[in-house]
């Protein structure tokens, strides 16, 4: 299980069954130590694992509540490394991978496993510039 005192802020993953979409079954949770609203709207999965990127970009909750356009609420954190969390769907256990660099990831592409190696394709910007600053 997990320690509620240590995981006050977290990303929680659930599954639903086709026969009863009103019932959520918890898969697991990933900690959010700093309590920031991390931006991401797409994550990948296979039949056995899911992959959640925690990127170097957060959102301004005040700006969102004030109705500012979404792209104006991005907060770039160029000194924050992006991380990937790969979670087993069967029991919620996960492994954390630090990329070692800044990354602004947008959309998940293909995800698959071959010989116990998880591969994910992400649309990624690795320079610390805002990709929406046209």
Per-residue pLDDT of the chain (134 residues; tens, 9 = 90+): 445 555 467 888 999 988 899 999 999 998 887 778 888 777 888 999 999 888 888 899 899 999 999 888 989 888 999 999 999 999 999 999 999 999 888 888 889 999 989 998 888 888 877 777 65
- Residue 60 placed within a domain: yes
Q: What is the pLDDT of residue 116?
A: 87
- Residue 9 placed within a domain: no
For residue 60, give its domain range: 33-125
Do 51 and 84 touch, CB atoms closer than 8 A? yes
Q: What is the pLDDT of residue 2?
A: 47
- Residue 52 placed within a domain: yes
Q: What is the pLDDT of residue 4?
A: 52
Query: How many domains does the structure of the chain reveal?
Result: 1
- Residue 20 placed within a domain: no
- Residue 50 placed within a domain: yes
pTM of the model as a whole = 0.80
- Residue 134 placed within a domain: no
- Residue 39 placed within a domain: yes
């Amino acid at each position: 299980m997990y320690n509620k005192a240590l995981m006050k802020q977290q990303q929680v993953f659930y599954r639903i069954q086709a026969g009863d979409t009103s019932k959520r079954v918890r898969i697991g949770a990933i900690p959010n130590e700093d309590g920031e609203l991390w931006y991401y709207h797409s994550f990948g999965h296979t039949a056995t694992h899911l992959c959640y990127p925690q990127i170097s970009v957060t959102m301004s909750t005040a700006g969102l509540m004030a109705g500012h356009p979404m792209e104006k609420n991005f907060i770039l954190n160029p000194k924050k490394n992006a991380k990937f969390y790969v979670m087993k769907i069967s029991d919620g256990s996960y492994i954390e991978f630090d990329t070692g660099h800044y990354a602004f990831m947008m959309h998940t592409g293909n995800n698959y496993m071959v010989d116990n190696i998880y591969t994910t394709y992400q649309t990624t910007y690795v320079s610390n510039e805002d990709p929406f600053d046209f």
